[in-house]
Copies of this chain bind each other. A is one copy, B any other.
Amino acid sequence: MKATVYVRLKAEVLDPQGDAVRRALGTMGFDDIKNVRIGKLIELELGNAGSGDESSVRSALEKAANELLANPVIEDYEITFGE
């Protein structure tokens, strides 16, 4: 089973990296971009335990996201499961 954790800055947190990308895209001619936000994409390939029930895997991943993958002070995360 695969799980994907999307980590995004909270909406109220400034994203200077995204702003730099927006400006760089502007110099390349893409000047109709209102906003750019940069986040992380963490793809986990789970072993056999991952084939157990999804809710226990989800709660384990939420713990991992809160403690390691995301900084809950400034970031939100979203967990999805794949094949």
A residues at B contact (CB < 8 Å):
6-8, 18, 21, 24-25, 28, 30, 32-50, 60, 63-64, 67-69
B30 touches A64 (CB 8 A): yes
> Is B34 touching A47 in the complex (CB atoms < 8 A)?
yes
Stoichiometry, as copies per complex, reads: 2
20 contacts between A and B (CB under 8 A): A7-B41, A8-B43, A21-B42, A21-B68, A21-B69, A24-B68, A25-B68, A28-B64, A28-B67, A28-B68, A32-B46, A32-B48, A32-B50, A33-B44, A33-B46, A36-B42, A36-B44, A37-B43, A38-B41, A40-B41
In the assembly, what is the distance between CA of A64 and CA of B63, in Å?
Answer: 36
